[in-house]
């Protein structure tokens, strides 16, 4: 594990990113993309543009858009999957620990960082609690829930809003860029806390809500569409630090309103989305660990 952690994954990912942006000659595009499609099981029937010659480089191919009808958004449930992927874990957060894969946990506070000032949130001051977890729960009778979705290289790489909510704050942790493949996640404790990630926090109708995009090897680029100031895997940031940005200002008291299913951001390959949110005790997930899920399908509801 120590040897793997010493690998310069950030530098390698930047090099891979530049390689992905090299324009391929037209005659080479079909064989290169066809090999990728065959290796990772990509379904090009869903792509908005099926013609492989259309994609000038690997980066454009990775970030391909889907046909509008390919992913209908579930209207019956309050929380939907923000992306395609595999469900690694879900359930109530217990003892300030969250499972990244079965039996391997990480600290909630290490993952999200210090609690954001309630002045940036739309809900009232939480009652004083003994733990970081209790401080996030703002309404009596609510619980804190989590859901981890792993995006494989062959998946659709954009992610969307999982519910109607308001984003008030962004926290960017530069971190490492180790693989988040479930096999690797089993033997590196707190992997998600070591890796680069972008934490979006805000509120929905039941209180606290957060969506975190976790980077991985060759996924140095995490893009949030409404956040032009965000630059991931940049050499100017040092690991172990984090930088904050508030979407609440004198001119914008509401933050960034997001509608369920609305485009939110994208990865440049595949990675992981972690949802951590507050909801009443009768919130139920409609999931099984290990199942494949697609953007727009139900995660859970009251």
The catalytic position among 146, 157, 160, 169 is 160
Active site residue 110: no
- Tokens found for residue 28: 């080479």
Residue 59 has, within 13 A of its CA and on its CB side, a CA count of 17
| Eight-class DSSP state of 66 | B
Active site residue 160: yes
Active site residue 51: no
Residue 216 has, within 13 A of its CA and on its CB side, a CA count of 22
The catalytic position among 78, 168, 210, 271 is 271
What is the C-alpha to C-alpha distance for residues 223 and 232, in angstroms, rounded to an integer? 8
- Tokens found for residue 274: 């972690």
Strands, E assignment, the chain: 79-80, 85-92, 97-101, 104-107, 142-150, 158-160, 165-173, 197-204, 207-214, 222-224, 243-246, 256-258, 263-267, 272-280, 284-285, 292-293, 298-301
What is the C-alpha to C-alpha distance for residues 103 and 190, in angstroms, rounded to an integer? 12
The catalytic position among 78, 84, 146, 221 is 84
Catalytic residues: 84, 160, 271
């Amino acid at each position: 594990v120590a040897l793997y952690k010493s690998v310069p994954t950030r530098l390698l990912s930047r090099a891979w990113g530049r390689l992905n942006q090299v324009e391929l000659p037209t005659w080479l595009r079909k064989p290169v993309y066809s090999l990728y499609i065959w290796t990772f099981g990509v379904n090009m029937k869903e792509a908005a543009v099926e013609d492989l010659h259309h994609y000038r480089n690997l980066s454009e191919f990775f970030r391909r858009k889907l046909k509008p009808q390919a992913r209908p958004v579930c209207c019956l449930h309050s929380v939907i999957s923000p992306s395609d992927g595999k469900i690694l874990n879900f359930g109530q957060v217990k003892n300030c620990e969250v499972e990244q894969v079965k039996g391997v946990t990480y600290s909630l506070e290490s993952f999200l960082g210090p609690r954001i000032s309630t002045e940036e949130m739309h809900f009232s001051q939480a009652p004083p609690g003994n733990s970081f977890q209790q401080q996030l729960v703002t309404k009596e009778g609510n619980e804190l829930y989590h859901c981890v979705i792993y995006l494989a290289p062959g998946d659709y790489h954009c992610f969307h809003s999982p519910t109607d909510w308001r984003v008030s704050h962004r926290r960017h942790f530069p971190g490492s860029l180790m693989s988040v493949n479930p096999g690797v996640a089993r033997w590196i404790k707190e992997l998600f806390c070591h890796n680069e990630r972008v934490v979006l926090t805000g509120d929905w109708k039941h209180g606290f809500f957060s969506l975190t995009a976790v980077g991985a090897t060759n996924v140095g680029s995490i893009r949030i569409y409404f956040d032009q100031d965000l630059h991931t895997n940049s050499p100017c940031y040092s690991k172990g630090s984090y930088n904050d940005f508030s979407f609440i200002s004198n001119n914008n008291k509401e933050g960034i309103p997001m509608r369920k299913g609305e485009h939110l951001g994208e990865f440049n390959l595949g990675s992981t989305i972690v949802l951590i949110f507050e909801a009443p005790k009768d919130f139920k997930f409609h999931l099984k660990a290990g199942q494949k899920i697609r953007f727009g399908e139900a995660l859970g509801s009251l």
